[in-house]
Amino acid sequence: MLTSCCSGSAVVRAAMALILHSTSNNKNAAKGLIAAEYTGVKVELAKDFQMGVSNKTPEFLEMNPIGKVPVLQTPDGPVFESNAIARYVTKTKPDNLLFGSSLIEYAQIEQWNDFSATEVDANIARWLYPRLGYAVYIPPAEEAAVAALKRALGALNTHLASNTYLVGHSITLADIIMVCNLSIGFRVIMTKSFTKEFPHVERYFWTVVNQPNFCKILGEVKQAESIPAPPTKKPAPATEKPKAKEEPKKEVKEEPKPAEEEAAPKPKPKNPLDLLPPSPMILDDWKRLYSNTKTNFREVAVKGFWDMYDPEGYSLWFCDYKYNDENTVSFVTLNKVGGFLQRMDLVRKYAFGKMLIVGSEPPFKVQGLWLFRGKEIPKFVMDEVYDMELYEWKQVDINDEAQKERVSQMIEDHEPFEGQALLDAKCFK
């Protein structure tokens, strides 16, 4: 029987190997390779791929203009982004259970894929990359990343307390993506003393990562025994002047120099905010109250804030992101806010902030509340933090009860906030 031209083309495509451009030890590339092991799809690694070389060639940049790895080369065109690659490989063979056996299982798999990207992978990266020197190391930012990661692993631990796998009773694409994302954490920074707080996550990870199809791609995974030390700035090497030919030393008695000739160290210029009149509001006391209040938050912390607040020494500001229509991807929006808070570190001694990411569906709204020392937003912040221009700033009128209530709700992460769910709330303190 003759086959149609169309079906013949499909046979050719099925027979052709997919080429994955990446090194073999890339945890993101592993997602597609493990999916291929489960589906029987033929995926080959590009020969002689060199990170930093191969991904800068014109041919590679034509497949992915920003040069990120991995990229999957298919007969119908390239695919980049690791989760998309894993989905493509999985759907190439429709008769498999990696996408579940029902519509609800498919949705739950995608749910965990998004959770894995935004809550697990992103926060491991925010903790790990600065310690490896790939980003600026800022201790308060690391503290926030670790707290966010613990929150995510706590939720995952609760789910796995009554589930062997993320969805259903067998491994799905959700497990492939989750375990690959967790693998770099377990290998490099998540020591036993860190993960023991999440025993069901530990059980799940070691169960899945030791499955034959995972072992074939990831190899043996050993848990980190210590956390990488943060980078330290090395002093610049002193430039040595060529030594002049030594002459016999003559004994010369030097007369003491007048005191005024001795170079005195120049005093470090004071921050203008340090020159303001003293305020009865002690910022550290408020931050301590905020951090230590675990119950009755409105009655204890919020009331305490208004009892402490000094409108003569401090000012309150609402900020609203100008381009909320662009916030269509949750993890990109979260990273955008996280970057803003990192860059605000220069004002930590003089400020407290809350940033709310509002909405259960995109586009997400980013809205904030900031307490600054002084009656204006500090000029050095406006000058040095470029994100400030991306927000509309409005000073809070504390005599307006509606505005005052809005401040209280933002401090306590009240949900729903103005009728909408909170995707996340971040604190700068």
Mean pLDDT of 14-26: 82
Going from N- to C-terminal start, the domains of the chain cover 11-92, 103-218, 280-287+294-428
Point out the least confidently predicted range of 214-218, 246-250, 276-280, 353-357. 246-250
**261 pLDDT higher than 70:** no
The percent of residues in the chain predicted with pLDDT above 90, rounded, is 74
Phi, psi of 346 (to 5 degrees): -65, -15
More confident residue, 231 or 153: 153
The percent of residues in the chain predicted with pLDDT above 70, rounded, is 88
Q: Is the pTM value of this prediction over 0.85?
A: no
Mean pLDDT of 168-172: 94
Strands 18-21 and 43-45: parallel
Mean pLDDT of 186-209: 95
Cα diameter, the chain: 112
**396 pLDDT higher than 80:** yes
pLDDT given at position 270? 79
Mean pLDDT of 148-169: 95
Mean pLDDT of the chain: 88
pLDDT given at position 127? 96
pLDDT given at position 330? 87
Strands 18-21 and 351-358: unpaired
Point out the least confidently predicted range of 223-237, 238-252, 274-288, 410-424. 238-252
Degrees (nearest 5) of the Cα angle 148, 138, 113?
A: 30
CATH of domain 103-218: 1.20.1050.10
More confident residue, 338 or 351: 351
pLDDT given at position 214? 95
Confidence tier at 221 by pLDDT (50, 70, 90) = very high
**242 pLDDT higher than 80:** no
pLDDT given at position 192? 94
pLDDT given at position 268? 59
From the candidate CATH numbers 3.40.30.10, 3.20.20.480, 3.40.50.1820, 3.20.20.370, the one assigned to the domain spanning 11-92: 3.40.30.10
pLDDT given at position 29? 95
Confidence tier at 259 by pLDDT (50, 70, 90) = very low
Tell me which architecture the domain covering 280-287+294-428 has in CATH.
2-Layer Sandwich (3.30)
11-92 shares its CATH topology with 280-287+294-428: no
**233 pLDDT higher than 60:** no
Residue with tokens 């002047």: 241
Residue 413: HSE in the Cβ half-sphere, 13 Å Cα cutoff: 12
Q: Using one digit for the tens of pLDDT, what is the confidence trace for 72-105?
A: 999 999 999 999 999 999 999 888 899 999 999 9
The rounded distance, in Å, linking the Cα atoms of 360 and 206 is 33
pLDDT given at position 342? 87
pLDDT given at position 388? 92
pLDDT given at position 142? 93
Residue 385 neighbours by CB under 8 Å, 6+ apart:
340, 343, 344, 346, 347
Confidence tier at 263 by pLDDT (50, 70, 90) = very low
Strands 77-80 and 43-45: unpaired
